[in-house]
Chain A
Amino acid sequence: MAEAPQQEQQEQQEQLLVQIEQEQQQEHQPELVQEQQQEEQQEEQQEQRQEEQEEHQLDQQNKEEEEQVEQEEEEEQPSSSEASEPDEEPEEPKESAQMPRSRPLLSTRSMSSGGGGGGGDPADDSPNMIVYKKIEDIITRIQDETDGIPIRTVKSFMTKIPSVVTGADIVTWLMRNLSIDDAAEAMHLGSQIAAQGYIFPISDHTLTLKDDGTFYRFQAPYFWPSHCWEPENTDYAIYLCKRTMQNKTRLELADYEAENLARLQRAFARKWEFIYMQAEAQVKIDRKKEKTERKILDSQERAFWDVYRPVPGSVNTTEMDIRKCRRIKNPHRVKKSVYGVTEEGTQSQSPIHTPSHHCRKGTKEDVEKEILFLNTQLDRHCMKMSKVAESLMSYTEQYLEYDPFVTPLEPSNPWTSDDPSFWDLETSKETSQQRVKKWGFSLEEALKDPLGRDLFLKFLESEFSSENLRFWLAVQHLKRMPQQEVAQRAQDIWAEFLAEGAPSSINLDSHSYERTSQNLKDPGRYSYEDAQAHIYKLMKSDSYARFLRSNVYQDLLMARKKPETEQGRRTSLEKFTRSVGKSLTGKRLTGLMQSS
């Protein structure tokens, strides 16, 4: 599997390049877009302002709350938090006395206008959104004050790690609250939730869940995938750029990020100044935030980019099934910038957002058809559940011994033993008891197996009544022919089986006979459906029943072979010893064989 990660990496880089190239092309968009742009710009700016305000308000609220609860903690180590970050900007107001927020930004920060409304939005039930909702429900429960995991600030070395839980905590919670018996399964589910972008390890770009003391944080609702983010490379460039402006080890770029940045610098050479400015502006905004809050937000922002620009070699969970693309949210909106950046000529309609003509509206004719259909259904004679259940159970019971997943195969399952002799047995004329027994389950089963069909035919020939089966087979064949040959073949069948003085005349009731001769006026592949069904019923109730009682069938079933009896016995004994041998030692007990 070593090739795959490299390939993935290459592909992702290529994708990035393609995106960059597309951006460059779009730079030269006509003015049509500009007016729209301006409107959107204003909207965006307003939203951005709104959100900053909300953020600020929330900060205040939380700070006040925390102050009361955790004052003792802070008093214990007043200097440590300051000392740990010597390169903190001097212009920062004295916020060290403020409490670290113990709860991440939760429901109040949901994206306002942008993501489209809440209830009533038809795209809300698109496949992706269904999963997001379920995950968000889990995430909300897991952070609940009473029933969730306590989110703590952990002290380590000279710093505090705010707002974390351990992987083991999450695994335990999932097992307890979602009825999961196996820790591996809980870990897998947790990894899926991480991969989608709802939780993340604070010191790793790879989004998986480990069942140990590794620290995880919850993603801010602003960054939730349910908002249908499709961040542009300009945003990514701004992000990487601002990272380099902040001299903190925790913000250092990984190798692949540095490479991406270099590539973006080349691609956006002409507007790099703009990007640099935006990055500076973002740094300024960030600086105004309180230290602990910054730690949290920085990590959340990084986790966001880990989803939308994943580490090479990891799964890109934002990839979509193209069949479902038409129905995602935001069909008409321009792609939203993470940092509220708007720029003339660079914004575009998302290429996969096409207006959805999704469900055809019900016309009057549709409703009339539906009424007809419903009336037919009402007239249908249905079976009781208890009878249905018995039927399903008895069918399964009957075939259980033939099911390789349930009953071990003789001699072995080729896939597990690498020995294809089981298949050779099937294709040979070998008539094992098991195989012959199956022919007795139903006429259908007997006809399905070429050997069974041949034997049944032979039996009928011995009774001089083979024309029924031959007719049935001929009609089966007719239905499988190319359209062009159907008419002729239908005529041939008539001549052979139904015409006056036909060589293999079959016995049809007058009603079916009339219907069939009518059908033959315009011969098609279904001309003989009625006749075939009639003959099948006849065979089932009459000849088939006698076939099962016949010597030729019973002999095979009881493995009563005549002249070759000696050989027959030895063969079955060989088989027996072989299987015994395998189960005991895996080797053949040759001693036993020789003694026979």
Chain B
Amino acid sequence: QKVLVELKITFSQCSKNERNYKTTSRKYMRSPLSPEMATQEVQLNETLAHLKTESENLKSKLEEERAKLHDVELHQVAEKVEGLGQFIMKTRRTLKGHGNKVLCMDWCKDKRRIVSSSQDGKVIVWDAFTTNKEHAVTMPCTWVMACAYAPSGCAVACGGLDNKCSVYPLSLDKNENLAAKKKSVAMHTNYLSACSFTNSDMQILTSSGDGTCALWDVESGQLLQSFHGHAADVLCLDLAPSETGNTFVSGGCDKKANVWDMRSGQCIQSFETHESDINSVRYYPSGDAFASGSDDATCRLYDLRADREVAIYSKESIIFGVSSVDFSLSGRLLFGGYNDYTINVWDVLKGTRVSILFGHENRVSTLRVSPDGTAFCTGSWDHTLRIWA
């Protein structure tokens, strides 16, 4: 009777799934409903359980192996490093003009222009040095969560709730309607959370609420490579700074940070120590490590050579999530924008908080250091952007 009962359940399962099952011990072939199929299905479920156990065992083994190399803490070794002096960082420019929450911004390679995007659908290009607005585009959707400046400085990319990433060439003629020249490049099946040009204007890397990242050819809109592995929304990405490398890191709502090979689409390293969504990831300037910011109110540093988390930046008094992080030029300082409207500045090596900056009147949603490290820019839900130095 037991077998009969199982038969009922497993038959319905079979009809839903259309895959060739390969168990570890035998090939499984599709056949019309039969008792063999039923028992094989039962075996399949057992195999799944076995596999899961195997996976768990491997994870513990990996933990063990990594722990062997954990002979010291970063901040302990860094005790011999000279402490940093007092910092005087202030708002040097305030950019007003957005009508709603600023969600994202990016610097131009010329070190003074920036592009910013907002909940109201507006994308604005500014000369942050003079605070003049140079271009403005209205997107057909609200919540433009991602924007990026092209390396040439001649175009910007943006997207959000429209599930797309579009590229707008920037015209010198201020009167020209930018929206007319828009080019749709990326298509996802959920919101676009982040986008970045690779070293050229010709490729864009995107991440999405649909759980994937993707690399696109701008000219043709062709999908060059897709990256699957996150189990939930991907919220952020950052390209490795190396001239020779072809990797990038992404962070998601599954609390994982994954490092990807752009050539093969494979995930080559994965880190899961955060307790909540990872909102931001950024490479350490040498490319050997990266930092992450999460809703669990911590920033963490992961080293790729050690293949583990090497530092946590947190305080009992910091309880709101981190929305964005970035390093200073030398990698000594880590700037974090938080949901409690503040910016915390961390000594990366010693693990201590160097400074807390007030000024914004609502959440800090985005933070980037300028290409030459002379300043950093923050965007906030208070509709403004601020340049700090």
A residues near B (Cβ < 8 Å) are: 4, 7, 125, 127, 130-131, 134-135, 138, 174, 178-180, 182, 184-186, 188-189, 192, 315, 319, 322-324, 327, 358-360, 362, 364-365, 367-368, 370-371, 373-375, 377-378, 380, 382-393, 395-400, 402-406, 409, 413-416, 420, 422-423, 426, 444, 447-448, 476, 479-484, 526, 529, 532-533, 536
Contacts and interface: CB of A to CB of B under 8 A. Distances in A.
B29 interface: no
A392 B331 contact: yes
B145 A319 contact: no
A189 B317 contact: yes
Contacts of B295: 127, 130, 324
Contacts of B74: 385, 388-389, 392
A234 B261 CA distance: 55
Contacts, number: 265
B5 to A, nearest CB: 22
B356 A378 contact: no
A124 to B, nearest CB: 11
A385 B306 contact: yes
A131 B233 CA distance: 20
B188 interface: no
Contact of A406 (B92, B161, B332): B332
Interface of B: 19, 21, 44, 47-48, 51-52, 54-55, 58-59, 61-62, 65-66, 69-74, 77-78, 81, 84, 87, 89, 92-93, 99, 111-112, 129, 143, 145, 161, 191, 193, 198-200, 202-203, 209, 211, 217-220, 222, 224, 231-233, 235, 242-244, 246, 253-254, 263, 267, 269-270, 275-277, 284-286, 288-289, 295-297, 303, 305-308, 310, 315-317, 319-321, 328-333, 339-342, 348-349, 356, 358, 361-362, 372-375, 381-383, 387, 389
For the complex of A and B, the 8 pairs showing the least CB-CB separation, nearest first, are A480-B200, A403-B330, A399-B330, A389-B77, A415-B389, A483-B217, A482-B219, A127-B295
15 contacts: A130-B295, A131-B321, A180-B317, A189-B319, A323-B209, A359-B254, A380-B307, A382-B66, A382-B69, A382-B308, A391-B305, A405-B389, A423-B372, A482-B217, A483-B220
Contacts of A476: 199, 243
A471 B358 CA distance: 50
A402 B267 contact: no
A405 B244 contact: no
A526 B383 CA distance: 43
B333 A392 contact: no
A364 B329 contact: no
A482 B161 CA distance: 27
A385 B200 contact: no
Given A391-B286, A415-B92, 9 more contacts: A131-B319, A131-B320, A378-B65, A383-B303, A388-B288, A388-B303, A396-B332, A402-B330, A483-B217
A482 B307 contact: no
A389 B224 contact: no
B374 A406 contact: no
Contacts of A189: 317, 319, 340
Given A386-B72, A395-B331, A179 B316 contact: yes
B224 A415 contact: no
Contacts of A364: 21, 44, 47-48, 51
A393 B129 contact: no
A360 B329 CA distance: 38
A415 B111 CA distance: 11
A536 B319 CA distance: 47
Contacts of B308: 382
B62 A415 contact: no
Nearest to B48: A364
A378 B68 CA distance: 13
B198 A415 contact: no
A452 to B, nearest CB: 12
A482 B202 contact: yes
A358 B329 contact: no
Contact of A367 (B48, B84, B348, B382): B48
Contacts of B111: 423
Given A364-B47, A389-B72, A178 B316 contact: yes
B212 to A, nearest CB: 11
A188 B199 CA distance: 41
Contact of B219 (A374, A399, A423, A483): A483
Nearest to B202: A482
Given A396-B349, A480-B202, A483-B220, A383 B374 contact: no
A385 B72 contact: yes
Contacts of A358: 232, 253
Nearest to B268: A376
B92 A403 contact: no
Given A322-B143, A377-B307, A444 B219 contact: no
Given A396-B332, A405-B328, A125 B276 contact: yes
